[in-house]
Amino acid sequence: MIPIPAIDLKGGKVVRLVQGKFQEETIYSDGPEKIAKRFEEEGASRIHVVDLDGALWGTPKNLRSVEKILKSVRTPLEVGGGIRSIEIAASFLEMGVRWVILGTKACLDRGFLEEALAELGEKVIVGIDALDGLIATDGWTQVTRTKATDLAKTVQALGGKTVIYTDISKDGALKGPNLKEIRDFSQAFSKDVIASGGIAELKQKHRCRVVAPHGEASKIPLLDETVREGDKVSVGKLSANVIETPGHTAGHITFWFDADKLAFAGDTLFSIGCGRVIEGTPEMMWASLKKLRDLPGDTRVYCGHEYTLANIKFAQSIEPGNAALTARAKEAARQVAAGEPTIPTTISEEKAANVFLRADEPAVAAAVGLAGKPAAQVFAEIRARKNKF
């Protein structure tokens, strides 16, 4: 299974609708490109984008937002909503969209579906949205008498390779996917099926607890507990201190298990790196990194991503003479060759070799042409260089 994060656009904003009802929306962000960057940083292999206004009105309405997303990320996009002609579909592909999602028109017009699959091939994904097993169209405002499974068989017979199946009764309701419906649908379509829906059922199955930053409570569904700086969180017999580390996101937190000498730093501190500054500012990120730098040196750090070799290559472009960095490069190369992880690292190792933690070192400031400048400004320059490296 490959998780695909989604961006639903309405009026240029990122929203969530409950069962497709336009009057029941939650606004998450007015910067869809920022959300896309966040998804990319968190390892998304593709991003699903839907123009909700386009789906309702029958023609794309959030084109500018799609263009912003394309300029902001390298992660391939699948885009749908109001694409009801071959010409419009082709224009999205020419913009740089990897796949186009054809919904209403493909569901109602077999001739169009056949032509689209013949001309655009595997770049077409057919969106099949169903309510009680029947196809819904026009932004889910119209329910047909066609069974979703029958349309799936038609798509396959015409050479379609991928469909997106949405159970409208579950969409946006935060009640988890309808696994039985998905299984039944998959039996009707033997190619690739992308199933949309929430994760509540997984939470129920595994009895997990969702803990999130207090400031992000409105954005994160199914919360059990919110926390702030200085709070403690129990995980079994272990106890973690909450450290607010904004920068990558506005509400980012780190869990520090002081008694066990462990820190789970998410997207703030990486091995020889740090996360992109997306929702925060360079000043915020630098302050967060200093908090982590001040933890005991023997604290083992687990981060959200393992980019060690790439981060080392960048760090050496700024500090080629850093002996600790050279030693770390040799050890990381050995670990990778042996099939070993380069994580965890330690605070001591990062203080010595991670250029992002060394922005207040005079030699580092001089290396980026900012001798004597504030450390936050030096950090901002280093982060900007890494973004283009």
Task: Give the HSE-up count for residue 144: Cα atoms under 13 Å, Cβ half-sphere.
Answer: 19
Find out whether 209 and 234 touch, Cβ atoms under 8 Å: no
Residue 173 — pLDDT band, cuts 50, 70, 90? very low
Instruction: Inform me whether the pLDDT recorded for 164 exceeds 80.
Output: yes
- DSSP string covering 114-139: HHHHHHHGGGEEEEEEEETTEEEETT
Do you find a cis peptide bond into 344, omega within 30 degrees of 0? yes
Residue 334: CB atoms within 10 Å: 11
The model's pTM? 0.65
pLDDT-wise least confident of 199-203, 291-295, 311-315, 337-341: 199-203
Tokens representing 247 are 């920068």
In whole angstroms, give the CA distance from residue 146 to residue 344: 53
CA dist 59 and 51 (Å) reads: 9
pLDDT at res. 131:
81
User: In the structure encoding, which two tokens stand for residue 388, read together?
Assistant: 């283009």
Domain ranges of the chain: 6-202, 209-388
243-289 pLDDT, tens digit each = 999 999 889 999 999 999 999 999 999 999 999 898 889 999 999 99
CATH 3.60.15.10 fits 209-388, yes or no: yes
Sorting pLDDT into bands at 50, 70 and 90, what band is 42?
confident
Residue-wise pLDDT tens digits, 319-361: 999 999 999 999 999 999 999 999 999 999 999 999 999 999 9
**Which residues lie below 8 Å from residue 16, measured CB to CB, with a gap of 6+?**
8, 25, 26, 28, 172
- pLDDT higher than 90, residue 140: no
d(CA 164, CA 126): 6
Instruction: Look at 141 and 347; give whichever has higher pLDDT.
Output: 347
Domain 6-202 matches domain 209-388 at the CATH topology level = no
**Residue 59 pLDDT exceeds 70:** yes
Identify the band that residue 107 occupies on the pLDDT scale cut at 50, 70 and 90: confident
Tell me the CB-side half-sphere exposure of residue 227, using CA atoms within 13 A: 22
Which CATH code fits 6-202?
Answer: 3.20.20.70
Q: Are the beta carbons of 307 and 273 closer than 8 angstroms?
A: yes
Q: What is the CA radius of gyration of the chain?
A: 24
User: Is 199's pLDDT higher than 60?
Assistant: no
Separation of alpha carbons 260 and 310, rounded Å:
29
- Helix or strand or coil: residue 192? strand
Q: Which helix (H) or strand (E) holds 188?
A: helix 179-188
What are the backbone angles phi and psi of residue 195, rounded to the nearest 5°? -105, 130
Using an 8 Å Cβ cutoff, are 95 and 66 in contact? yes
Collapsing DSSP states into helix, strand and coil, what is residue 31? coil
Q: For residue 329, what is the DSSP state? A: H
Q: What angle do CA 96, 99, 100 make, to 5 degrees?
A: 100
Query: Which pLDDT does position 198 carry in this prediction?
Result: 57
Greater confidence (388 vs 289) lies with: 289
Q: Name every residue whose Cβ is closer than 8 Å to that of residue 227 and which is 6 or more positions away in sequence.
A: 211, 212, 213, 214, 233, 242, 253
Q: What is the pLDDT of residue 136?
A: 82
State the pLDDT confidence band at 204, using cuts at 50, 70 and 90: low
Dig out the tokens for 156 from the structure. 């396959």
In the prediction, which pLDDT does 179 show?
Answer: 65
pLDDT value, residue 178: 61
Q: 171 pLDDT exceeds 60?
A: no
Mean pLDDT of the chain: 89
Rounded CA-CA distance 50/201 in Å is 24
In contact, 4 and 162? CB cutoff 8 Å: no
Q: Is the pLDDT of residue 172 over 50?
A: no
- Residue 34: predicted pLDDT: 92
Which pLDDT value is given to residue 201? 60
Listed in sequence order, the residues at least 6 apart from 60 whose beta carbon sits closer than 8 Å to its beta carbon are: 51, 54, 66, 81, 82, 83, 88, 92
- Residues 79, 198: Cα–Cα separation, whole Å: 20
